[in-house]
Amino acid sequence: MLEVNRIRKYYEGRLLLDDISFNVAETETVCLLGPSGGGKSTLLRIIAGLEEMEGGQVRWNGEDITGLPAHLRRFGLMFQDYALFPHMSVAQNVAYGLRMQGIGESEIQKRVIEALEMVNMPGFAGRRVTDLSGGEQQRVALARALVARPRLLMLDEPLGALDRALREQLGSELKHVLDHMDIPVIYVTHDQQEAFAFADRLLILHDGRIIQSGAPVQLYEQPESLWLADFLGHRNRLAGQVLRQKPLTVQTAAGTLQCGRAFGSPRTGQAVTLVLPVGAARLAETDGNILPARVRQVQFQGVGYMIDFLLAGESEAAFFFNEPLAVDAQVNLSFAPQAILCYA
């Protein structure tokens, strides 16, 4: 099991990683999610032993491995853009880690072929890596990282360099491979959809700190800060004022709403921001936590409809529905109180 303990790292005079601590359990997949340039890749390199840090510890099964050189850690790292050796064939690339372990030639050949089959690349062994497409390179990089049977696997934006169609296809292949492995995995990405799909547990890295961690559903439903709510895709916001504290009731220009989830202990009279998740709205005939709204635009998205509403007081919001609504239709949107997030 991996333990990361109070890691601090400066980059060009700026504190890039500030007191980062977390654990990764035996067969767990942890996603490090955060905006680009936030030090996620640096953190991976520190764990791999490729980069020095200003403070902190990396432990493996209780043993301090902070000073252990990278090549003795047996931590697999799959790089963004894959870092395949351009002067070696596909097979030589995949075999590299096995050769380093001093494994016999016939065993190496057997395992390289197995690994290439696992990533659906049989028959590519003799090819030059410079002739491969992006998706093929990704698969070779995965095979190269896995064939050496690392104790821990780290993936740095493994789907980042692929176009959308390939992303979906290779993403599900990758998930299949990762689900069938019994080693801890750290998966770095800046894409929340990808993180939701892969993670057993999410760590949100922002401004050099882990600001929140938990299961994907929990983070999506209860982001503890407005920044995180925004980062996870909650775009509907209403400014308001607290009318009552119990039950928490907020008055906005669009209407008065009761909220189930409050962050930062709002007091009566205080100005607050409400966040309405896109899936939170229902059509209501009658009363109960209702906002009157007019349909402005309907976008068909395949599995359903994203509908833009004009609310009272000139504010706007978009919600997801399974059925379309007529443009300019006047409706009442009702919300379950526990779906509404309130930030002081």
Q: Which residues bind another protein (CB under 8 A)?
A: 45, 48-50, 52, 69-77, 79-81, 83, 85-87, 96-97, 100-101, 130, 144-145, 148, 150
Judged by CB, which is closer to another protein: 130, or 322? 130
Q: If DSSP codes are grouped into helix, strand and coil, which group holds residue 6?
A: strand
Residue 315 DSSP class: -
Task: Give me the least distance between CB of 273 and another protein, in Å please.
Answer: 36
CA distance 61 to 65: 10
193 sits in which H/E element: helix 192-198
- Does residue 152 contact residue 23 with C-beta atoms inside 8 Å? no
Judged by CB, which is closer to another protein: 77, or 90? 77
Q: How many CB atoms lie within 10 A of CB 68?
A: 15
Task: Give me the least distance between CB of 144 and another protein, in Å please.
Answer: 7
CA distance 112 to 98: 9
Task: Give me the least distance between CB of 22 and another protein, in Å please.
Answer: 20
Task: Give me the least distance between CB of 253 and another protein, in Å please.
Answer: 46
Judged by CB, which is closer to another protein: 144, or 237? 144
Beta bridge partners of 273: 239, 343
Judged by CB, which is closer to another protein: 87, or 267? 87
Nearest to 241 by CA among 224, 261, 259, 223: 259
Judged by CB, which is closer to another protein: 56, or 304? 56
Nearest to 32 by CA among 181, 172, 199: 199
Task: Give me the least distance between CB of 157 and another protein, in Å please.
Answer: 12
Judged by CB, which is closer to another protein: 92, or 222? 92
Long-range contacts of 107-114 (CB under 8 A, 24+ apart): 111/147, 112/143, 112/147, 114/147
Task: Give me the least distance between CB of 245 and another protein, in Å please.
Answer: 50
